[in-house]
Amino acid sequence: MGESTGFPVRSHCVGTTAVIYASDYLNKLTGERIERECKKQLDSGCQALVINFSDTELVNSIGVSILLGIIDIAQKNGAQLIFSDVNIQTAELFEMLGLTRHVLLARDEDEALSTLSEFSQARLAGH
């Protein structure tokens, strides 16, 4: 019943990559929605995830904790994960907390998709 309140998580697929859009404020509620969407996309066969932070102005500590969980889920599924469109303040927060040791930051969604395409081509070539 509580799921009907608030906004659904926007997402779309580009090949085997799911692009998921974070909300303007990443907290417990919105973070859990993003986490569920990531799991749903991985369960449906996606091999890579891009979380787009273009609308995100603020990430609280619970939001960061949930992002760490998403990083773990992606790693356990053997999926690539990239965060795109991260603003300067959030990028500095992710750097300070060590998230950037586990996830790439891309300037924008196109760069993230291009990077993932290069990864998959290298994997196919056996590198």
Q: Are 64 and 97 in contact (CB under 8 A)?
A: yes
Note the pLDDT of residue 38: 98
Note the pLDDT of residue 119: 79
CATH superfamily of this structure's domain 2-124 = STAS domain (3.30.750.24)
Q: Identify the band that residue 127 occupies on the pLDDT scale cut at 50, 70 and 90.
A: low
Domain ranges of the chain: 2-124
Q: b vs e for 48-81, b when ≥16 Cβ sit within 10 Å of the residue's Cβ?
A: bbbbbbeebeebeeebbebbeebbebbeebebbb
Say how many CA atoms lie within 13 Å of 3 toward its Cβ.
7
Summarised one tens digit per residue, pLDDT across range 29-88 is 999 999 999 999 999 999 999 999 999 999 999 999 999 999 999 999 999 999 999 999
Q: Which two tokens stand for residue 85?
A: 């469109």
Note the pLDDT of residue 4: 39
CA 6, CA 72: separation in Å to the nearest integer? 26
Percent of the chain with pLDDT over 90: 85
Work out the average pLDDT over 17-37: 97
Q: Which amino acid is at 21?
A: Y
Q: Which two tokens stand for residue 77?
A: 């599924």
